[in-house]
Chain A
Amino acid sequence: MRRRRSTGVVPGLIAIVLSAVVFLVPFAFIVLTASKTRAESALREFSLPTQWAIVENFMAVIEARDYMLLLAFVNSTILTVASVSIMVVLAAMVGYVMQRRPSRLTPLLNALVLAGLIIPPAVVPTIWVLQGLGLFRTLHGLILIEVAYGLSFCVLLFRAFVATIPRELDEAAVIDGAGPVRLFFRVVFPLLRSVIVTAVIVQSVAVFNDFQNPLYFLPGDTNATVQLTLYNFRSQYTTQWNLLFMDILLITIPPLIMYAFFNRQIVAGLTSGAVKG
């Protein structure tokens, strides 16, 4: 055992150095460029700033274009919170009934869930439908889009987890006089807590980082989400690298905070298929 420990030091050290070069240098580059003055950042060098301008850059990015970034953070927060809450409740209802009530419908439902995972969404026809409903270019429309695209993944998570909750519990609740709605929301739903946390975190990161769907379904500056500000700022700031990278830095922070707090749940959610297949 002692010999194995000592052999682990050298490869470990090599790995630490390699991982620093491959994974940490790009992030250090973001932070350093975000801290430089405009002239120095234009050189795009990997070096310490001779003059730290991190606060000035922060203020400049926030104030740019009438506080567009702040508005974008508000929009992204609304989008993420609303779509993930709706998605989780709806998917839990589906996963629960699918697991508890196998029937002739089940193969069809399974196919629909798989379709949601595999089929790339058809963009222009979706815009056509949204226009018909009056939801194109609205935050409500985008929220519903994110719900529709995230449902499949959540249903799979919930269906697998509901299977671990004993049916006897349902029966006990029914004998106590609980109707179907009460049975689900008062008895079963609270028991799903750990998988709800997983679904919420994985989907929040996905929705917050989503670029493609806001680009298609919520174009324009007034409704920008944070990912779109990068796209919009980039055309405006081709020479102001310090501000562009400050924007990247600010947008990167929320998911990293999520990771710091919910490391375990993220890992559990993303690896749920690994063991059983």
Chain B
Amino acid sequence: MTTTALPRLRKSRSHYPLWFYLPAGAVYGVLFIVPTIASFYFAFTRWNMSGTEFIGFENFALFFSEPYLFQGMVNTFIYGVLTSGLKVVLGLLLAVFLTSQIIARGYLRSVIFFPTLVSTVGVGITFTVLMDPEEGLINRALAVLGVAGPGWLTDPDLALISVALVDVWKGVGLATLIYIAGVVAIPQEFFEAAKVDGASAYQNLRHITLPLLRPATATVIVLSLIGGLRSFDLIWAMTQGGPGFTSDVVASVIFKQYQAGFWGLSSAGNVVLFLLVAALMVPLYWKLNRKEVEQ
């Protein structure tokens, strides 16, 4: 593509001045790139009110030796994988359902989507009240059905998963929407051809819809994994990392260490989060792209 466009390009190059990059580049460079690079230096220092002191890998060693920091890394991984996995599965099922012949499709699509636009902190506070072990609506409803509801946010084993479920509640609408766009883009000819061959509804789904939704799946996984791994607002609004530090993620550890004045440790948290995101995203990106090429 580049080679065919070249002769014309040369002629008109000056009409697309490079200085158009400057204003955006200045803001982005100063406020995003510089701090990102600086974090790789500060992560190796003991940095607080009194100054910085180079201490090598000590901050990172803490992340692996201190349970309250290590738990955050494990939780970030669990949270990211759990939320994006659930969003893929539920989003796909909802999209297939909402593109079939049912009544009230428009209403259902809107209802599922609109939590995406609502304040995360507002949702967090609301669900904190709904998930209260005794007074909460969820456990009261379960009690009516004769089930003793768990302490959603007070049980150390459950708190992180409860927050992840609320994250899915809020974000599944976006995944559904992306999948719906993917389903709608599949040419009807495929289904007509399959009909001639006598394919069942399941075979349609398995051999036409699913393979052709791969780009949509890639988008959903990448978006929800990026969002899930750096998720802070919802966790902070619901549990603040508690009980104890059982629902802490790296993003909340960064905030806590910043508030406590351990700026070097907080920056190391950023580097850890960066490495965690990269470790998951790079192979995923490579794999998803390669599969597309093979098609």
**Which A residues are closer than 8 A to B by beta carbons?**
4-5, 7-9, 11-13, 15-16, 19-20, 22-26, 29-30, 33, 43-46, 86, 90-91, 93-94, 96-97, 100-102, 109, 112, 115-126, 128-130, 133, 144-145, 147-149, 151, 155, 167, 170-171, 174, 180, 183-184, 205, 209, 211-212, 215-216, 226-227, 230-231, 234, 241, 244-245, 248, 251-252, 255-256, 258-259, 263, 266-267, 270-271, 273-277
Contact = CB atoms under 8 A, between A and B. Distances in A.
B240 to A, nearest CB: 11
Contacts of B185: 274-275
Interface string B110-137: 1111110111111101110110100111
A244 B213 CA distance: 42
A258 B117 contact: yes
Nearest to B264: A124
Contacts of B34: 125, 129
A97 B18 contact: yes
Interface in B201-222: 214-216, 218-219
Given A44-B137, A122-B270, 11 more contacts: A5-B101, A9-B102, A11-B102, A45-B137, A94-B21, A120-B277, A124-B270, A125-B38, A148-B32, A212-B232, A230-B121
Contact of B118 (A97, A145, A252): A252
Contact of A248 (B13, B102, B119): B119
Contacts of A167: 8, 12
Q: Is the interface of B mostly helix, strand, loop or mixed?
A: helix
Interface string B21-61: 10111011011111110110010000100000000000000
Contacts, number: 269
A230 B123 CA distance: 11
Contacts of A234: 125
Interface string B243-259: 00000000100110010
B145 interface: no
Contacts of B78: none
Nearest to B105: A12
A147 B30 CA distance: 12
B121 A271 contact: no
B14 interface: yes
Contact of A273 (B112, B121, B178): B178
B7 interface: no
B32 A124 contact: no
B274 interface: yes
Contacts of A22: 169
A126 B47 CA distance: 14
B254 A23 contact: no
A147 B108 contact: no
Given A16-B107, A119-B274, A125 B31 contact: no
9 contacts: A19-B112, A43-B135, A117-B226, A122-B270, A126-B31, A174-B15, A180-B14, A252-B118, A277-B288
Given A19-B112, A125-B38, A118 B118 contact: no
Contacts of A15: 97, 102, 104, 108
A12 B104 contact: yes
